[in-house]
């Protein structure tokens, strides 16, 4: 509102002055509301921008979480494969130790037999 309503004339009664005051208050309230909206506009834009940034950050975080979970699962599978391979190697080593023990025993028996033949 750019200008106030004209003042009541010289012979105006109380109701004219009250009506004029009400119009002034309504005009001032409208002016203040418009000013508040204009001032609030940049705040709303900043809030919307901040909200959009937060949503994007949430999407990025979610994507990173999915990637981390995928890498974790891949790592678990590799670890399980290494554990199986280690178990197979341990089993092979145990078999070889048994074979070495058997062969050592056989060698000892053959030495005893050779000693018996050489002494006889």
As a dihedral over the C-alpha atoms of residue 17, residue 18, residue 20, residue 23, rounded to 10 degrees, the angle is: 170
| Digit-coded pLDDT (tens) for 51-84 | 999 999 999 999 999 999 999 999 999 999 999 9
**In Å, what is the CA distance from 29 to each residue of 42, 48, 53, 80, 117?**
21, 27, 35, 73, 127
pLDDT of residue 34: 83
Listed in sequence order, the residues at least 6 apart from 17 whose beta carbon sits closer than 8 Å to its beta carbon are 8
Pick 2 or 53 by higher pLDDT. Answer: 53
Across residues 34-58, what is the average pLDDT? 83
């Amino acid at each position: 509102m750019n200008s106030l309503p004209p003042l009541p004339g010289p012979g105006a009664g109380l109701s004219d002055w009250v009506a004029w005051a009400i119009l002034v208050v309504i005009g001032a309230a409208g002016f203040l509301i418009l000013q508040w909206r204009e001032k609030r506009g940049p705040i709303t834009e900043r809030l919307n921008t901040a909200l959009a940034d937060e949503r994007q950050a949430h999407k990025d975080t979610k994507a990173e979480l999915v990637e981390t979970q995928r890498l974790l699962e891949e790592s678990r599978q590799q670890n399980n494969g290494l554990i199986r391979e280690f178990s197979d190697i341990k089993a092979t080593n145990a078999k070889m130790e048994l074979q070495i023990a058997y062969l050592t025993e056989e060698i000892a028996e053959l030495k005893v037999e050779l000693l018996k033949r050489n002494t006889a």
